[in-house]
């Protein structure tokens, strides 16, 4: 549980607290007044290239921060990225349900995590994968999504 306490970045949804039951962990997180990216794009249509570049750089910044702290998200997708209009043009990554601390961890993972349309190819093929590279592959797909 300690890895969640270390997640403090302007482009990660703040985790305010957590509760652990016998089989699950529940998080209390900051409220996103905006909407997730699929809803925003459906309502507003495509964004200008400049805005997309800003948002993709925010995602990359957050992923880099997590990886530097040896944490992998393992489920990066537009649905897990929320717009925070009260903070300007800020987006934040949320949904840390598949996130994992990699401190002292194995080099490759075999756990199937993520959403089909955002998976790295090796996960789709059921092969062992590097969760850091998988996060980067998914982050790259964010900039290419509709």
Q: At 74, list the tokens.
A: 């393992």
Query: Residue 98's pLDDT is what?
Result: 79
Q: What is the pTM of this model?
A: 0.79
2 pLDDT higher than 70: no
Strand partners, 82: 36, 92
Q: For residue 107, what pLDDT band results from cuts at 50, 70 and 90?
A: low
Cα radius of gyration rounded to whole Å, the chain? 15
The mean pLDDT value for 76-92 works out to 89
Query: Residue 144's pLDDT is what?
Result: 55
Number of domains forming the structure of the chain: 1
Q: Assess contact for 58 and 14: CB atoms under 8 A.
A: no
Catalytic residue, from 75, 86, 95, 135: name it: 75
pLDDT in tens, 40-68: 999 999 999 999 999 999 999 999 999 88
Which range of residues forms the domain containing residue 88?
A: 2-142
Of 18, 27, 33, 14, nearest to 93 by C-alpha is 14
Q: At 114, list the tokens.
A: 């993520």
Q: For residue 139, what pLDDT band results from cuts at 50, 70 and 90?
A: low
Collapsing DSSP states into helix, strand and coil, what is residue 105?
A: coil
CATH code of the domain in which 11 resides: 1.10.510.10
Q: At 128, list the tokens.
A: 């062992």
Q: For residue 37, what pLDDT band results from cuts at 50, 70 and 90?
A: very high
Q: What percent of the chain has pLDDT over 70?
A: 77
Q: Which residues contact 40 (CB under 8 A, 6 or more apart)?
A: 34, 83
Spatial distance between the Cα atoms of 28 and 17, rounded to a whole number of angstroms:
5
Residue of 84 and 4 predicted with greater confidence: 84
What are the φ/ψ torsions at residue 91 (nearest 5 degrees)? -115, 155
Q: What is the DSSP string of 82-125?
A: EEEGGGSSEEEE---TT-EE-TT--SSB----S-GGG--HHHHT
Residue 75 appears among annotated catalytic residues: yes
């Amino acid at each position: 549980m300690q890895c969640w306490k270390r997640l403090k970045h302007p482009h990660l949804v703040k985790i305010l607290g957590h509760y652990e039951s016998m089989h699950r962990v529940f998080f209390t997180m900051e409220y996103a007044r905006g909407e997730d990216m699929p809803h925003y794009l459906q309502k507003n249509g495509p964004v200008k290239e400049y805005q997309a570049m800003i948002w993709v750089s925010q995602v990359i910044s957050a992923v880099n921060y997590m990886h530097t702290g040896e944490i992998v998200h393992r489920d990066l997708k537009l649905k897990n990225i929320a717009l925070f209009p009260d903070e300007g043009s800020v987006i934040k990554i949320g949904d840390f349900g598949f996130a994992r601390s990699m401190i002292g961890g194995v080099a490759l993972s075999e756990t199937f995590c993520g959403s089909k349309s955002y998976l790295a190819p090796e996960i789709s093929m059921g092969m062992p994968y590097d969760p850091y590279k998988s996060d980067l592959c998914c982050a790259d797909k964010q900039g290419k999504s509709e």
